[in-house]
Amino acid sequence: MVIAAIFHQLCREESAAQERAETAITLSAELGHVQVLAAATILRGWGVAMQGKEEEGLAHLHQGLAAWQATGAGRERSHFLAMLAEASGKAGQVEKGLNALAEALAVIDKTGERYYEAELYRLKGELTLAQSNVQSLKPALPAPVPQAQVSVVEGSKVEEEAAGCFLKAIEIARNQQAKSLELRSAMSLARLWQQQGKQQEAHAVLSEVYGWFTEGFDTKDLQEAHALLKKCEGP
């Protein structure tokens, strides 16, 4: 059941991931499988958080991660931390999400477990943009130049940093032939470029990987990619 929950999490099927995780929690608790229980708790937390109950979901995530670490398990930690980062971002806890990603990247450097590395960089780009949006809502301090000009300069730097994360994620996914993660990273970059008015560049980077797929067009990522391609085509 944990494997099934992970499959649904990778497909961004939050409700199904939560359902499978809760079944795994019940079975693992009955059988005394501590490690499975920890993993299932993490997956339930992600599913709950991504369906709008962020605080409850984060509580499960932290509980599960602590239990997972207590077992001494090293594998999967970077993936689990990515789930924590994504849920933290959804809850508006952007800084905590970025901290979780920094820990995850340190983990993969130590363990060499890089199968989810592309998604770590994609999430880093998304949270970098989110952090900038949060900071822009704070009262501005007096500046030696017009505040509007400062905001434009800072915004462009943030967008450049985020784009760099997305490009790195695409490169990693391509090298690993991880097409689903490449598609997701290309979507993040295409959204940014589309917002910047780079319609042709956005369409090109996304259509290249989208065109590789021959099935699975009912999945969330491919549906969103198709809609984004249409938007990038313009009127």
pLDDT of residue 233: 84
Q: Percent of the chain, pLDDT > 90?
A: 86
Q: How confident is the model at residue 134 (pLDDT cuts 50, 70, 90)?
A: low
Cα gap 61→94, rounded to integer Å: 16
pLDDT of residue 138: 47
pLDDT of residue 135: 55
pLDDT of residue 234: 67
pLDDT tens column, 176-191: 999 999 999 999 999 9
The residue extents of the domains of the chain are: 1-92, 114-135+152-235
DSSP secondary structure of 127-167? HHHHHHHHHHTSPPPP-SS-HHHHHHHHHHHHHHHHHHHHH
pLDDT tens column, 25-48: 999 999 999 999 999 999 999 999
Q: Does domain 114-135+152-235 have CATH number 1.10.4160?
A: no
Look at the alpha carbons of 174, 204, 79, 11 in this order and tell me if their dihedral is positive or negative.
negative
Q: Cβ-count burial of 19 within 10 angstroms (0-12 exposed, 13-18 middle, 19+ buried)?
A: middle
pLDDT of residue 101: 98
**pTM attached to this predicted model:** 0.90
Give the mean model confidence (pLDDT) for residues 112-132.
96
Give the mean model confidence (pLDDT) for residues 106-121.
96
Do residues 181 and 212 make contact, with C-beta atoms less than 8 angstroms apart? no
Cα angle 200, 203, 209 (rounded to 5 degrees) comes to 140
Give the mean model confidence (pLDDT) for residues 209-233.
95
The answer on pLDDT for 160 being more than 70 is: yes
Q: How confident is the model at residue 124 (pLDDT cuts 50, 70, 90)?
A: very high
The answer on pLDDT for 145 being more than 70 is: no
Q: Percent of the chain, pLDDT > 70?
A: 90
pLDDT of residue 154: 58
pLDDT of residue 26: 96
Helix (H) or strand (E) holding 196: none
pLDDT of residue 184: 98
The answer on pLDDT for 115 being more than 50 is: yes
Q: Which residues fall within 8 angstroms of residue 195, CB to CB, at 6 or more apart? A: none
The answer on pLDDT for 149 being more than 50 is: no
pLDDT of residue 215: 95
Cα gap 30→16, rounded to integer Å: 22
Q: How confident is the model at residue 144 (pLDDT cuts 50, 70, 90)?
A: low
Backbone angles phi, psi at 110, to 5 degrees: -80, -40
Question: Burial code of 50-86, b = ≥16 C-beta within 10 A, e = fewer?
Answer: beebbeebbebbeebbebbeeeeeeebbbbbbbbbbb
pLDDT of residue 216: 93
